[in-house]
Amino acid sequence: MIISHRGNLIGHSPECENNPSHIDRVLKLFDSMNDKVAFLIELDVYKDGFNWYLGHDGPTYKVDFSYLKHPRFILHAKNIEAFNELFLHGLHTFFHDSDALTMTSKGLIWAHVDTSLNNWHGDVLGKTIAVMPEVRMTNTAHTLRKCVGICTDYAGKYLELKLD
């Protein structure tokens, strides 16, 4: 599974990250692909009272709750209020601050960018999402291939390779 970090496809792009109009374009692209591999999008989600927002450093783009229900989304709850509601509705979500790893609501291990996975057992890697492996380059290609998924700012590179 390849997970587009905040909707990024070809690198860090703050003006596009978590932007619903950009996310919609990425979804159309992913939907046009064959189902050879799962392409998902990780989004940063805030809840403020009855309102829902996307945004990394704060609530930036107001969205309807129904928008968050897309099956290609993994939702990074940025506050506890958001996590509680997303979890109760059965959406794929997780919450963390600077933890080395956290568990998503669907039972996957979300491994922080600074976490080395090289000595992990293969069965554990098979349930692990390696986050931003291109940032630190601490994990070997052999290790990354064993992971259930990779969350990256470069999801478009995987599209170009067509994962052959």
Q: Concatenated DSSP letters for 91-149?
A: --EE--SS-SEEE-TTS-EEE-TT---TTS-HHHHTTEEEE-HHHH--S-HHHHHHSSE
Listed residue (111, 104, 114) closest to 125, CA to CA? 111
CA distance 34 to 80: 36
Indicate the number of domains in the chain. 1
Structure confidence at residue 36 (pLDDT): 65
Q: Which residues, 6 or more positions from 37, have their beta carbon under 8 angstroms from its beta carbon?
A: 1, 2, 158, 163
CA distance 68 to 45: 9
pLDDT tens, the chain, 164 aa long: 999 999 999 999 999 999 999 999 999 988 887 666 789 999 999 999 999 999 999 999 999 999 999 999 999 999 999 999 999 999 999 999 888 999 999 999 999 998 999 999 999 999 999 999 998 888 888 898 899 999 999 998 876 654 44
Structure confidence at residue 161 (pLDDT): 54
List the domain range (segments joined by +) for residue 150.
2-161
Structure confidence at residue 164 (pLDDT): 42
Structure confidence at residue 163 (pLDDT): 46
DSSP 55: -
CA distance 105 to 45: 15
Degrees, nearest 5: CA angle 75-79-80: 100
CA distance 38 to 73: 11
Structure confidence at residue 119 (pLDDT): 92
Listed residue (36, 51, 40, 44) closest to 19, CA to CA? 44
Do residues 72 and 30 lie in contact, with contact meaning Cβ atoms separated by under 8 Å? yes
